[in-house]
Amino acid sequence: MRAIVYTETGEPSVLQLVEREVPQPGAGEVRVRVVVSGVNPTDWKSRRGQGIVGASVTEVVPNQDGAGVVDAVGAGVTEFALGDRVWLHLAAYQRQSGTAQEFAVLPVNRVAPLADAVGFDVGASLGVPAMTAHRALTVEEDGPARLSPGALAGRTVLVAGGAGAVGHAAIQLARWAGARVITTVSGATKATLATAAGAHHVVVYTEGNPAEQIRALAPDGVNLIVEVAPAVNAELDAAVVAPRASVAIYATDGGGRITLNASPNMGGNVRYQFILLYTVGQAALDAARADVSAAAAAGVFAVGEAAGLPLHRFPLERTADAHAAVEAGVVGKVLIDVAPPA
């Protein structure tokens, strides 16, 4: 089978196409014929030695997310059968075998059912973005621990960076759960994408006073902020939160050092929750996998420019170019076509 590997960390050029033996699933594992592999920032960071793989590698197949069809099952597996359509997540976490290959073997708790009506492009776009968004939307002190229709009814959610992959997923999940969604973006093009994703209100933070604009939309404050740039937005967040609000921080765009004004945050009993999908614990992952699968089956997730998330496609042999595109900050979702759907 064809696979992309790297044996040293560094530039995208360390990624090489090789031929490998088709792996066999062990007990509690399934083998998936990968149709589409998704690329996330965590993938290029790991390739550079900044992430979960680290600087010491032997032969690593990159990419955490993907979608495909179950091709074989190991001993004791009852959750999946041959031919099942699935989406994959955390494929390369504490392992060195991700989704940039024609066949991937994963533990069953990193595989989720993909409804027949849901395309493989959507399936490969879930994983890290959608599960991170799920966690961000379920950490509010007075909010739900699980998402379903109506779970966030009556609540206002602010999504910082609504044109990004996690922001896009957060908008769609929050709307499905019944929240009113406000998002901030940097300009008109991203505003169009965030609106297409389903945000009720879009604030261009480079124009006027974004705090005043958000307060005008939510006079009582926002209940939950899905935050991508806490160092940049700390003052804005403090100005727009409702009492007992939570700020869920999943990235540190704009810098890793955050300065908080204690008075407004203390007076509002504001909670700051940092999120890294790899260490949230199995219970949170299981909840996210189940709820994201249900939302996908309900048609909640959509990808493509018309849905607010432009797609950028690469064949497997150009995985290096796919990584370079994500590393350069391309707007949208980068997908790798690994094999035909059937």
CATH 3.90.180.10 residue window(s) in the chain: 2-125+309-337, 130-278
Task: Give the per-residue pLDDT at 342.
Answer: 72
DSSP per-residue codes, 26-86: -TTEEEEEEEEEEE-HHHHHHHTTSSSS-S--SSBB--SEEEEEEEEE-TT--S--TT-EE
Task: Give the per-residue pLDDT at 53.
Answer: 43
d(C-alpha 283, C-alpha 155), whole Å? 24
CATH 3.40.50.300 fits 2-125+309-337, yes or no: no
Task: Give the per-residue pLDDT at 50.
Answer: 82
Q: Residue 22 gets which letter from DSSP?
A: P
- Model pLDDT for residues 172-208, shown as the tens digit of each residue: 999 999 999 999 999 999 999 999 999 999 999 999 9
Task: Give the per-residue pLDDT at 11.
Answer: 97
- Cα 291 to chain center, whole Å? 14
CATH code, residues 130-278: 3.90.180.10
Task: Give the per-residue pLDDT at 51.
Answer: 60
Residue numbers in the chain where pLDDT is lower than 50: 53-55
d(C-alpha 223, C-alpha 268), whole Å? 11
d(C-alpha 109, C-alpha 28), whole Å? 9
Look up the pTM and report it: 0.96
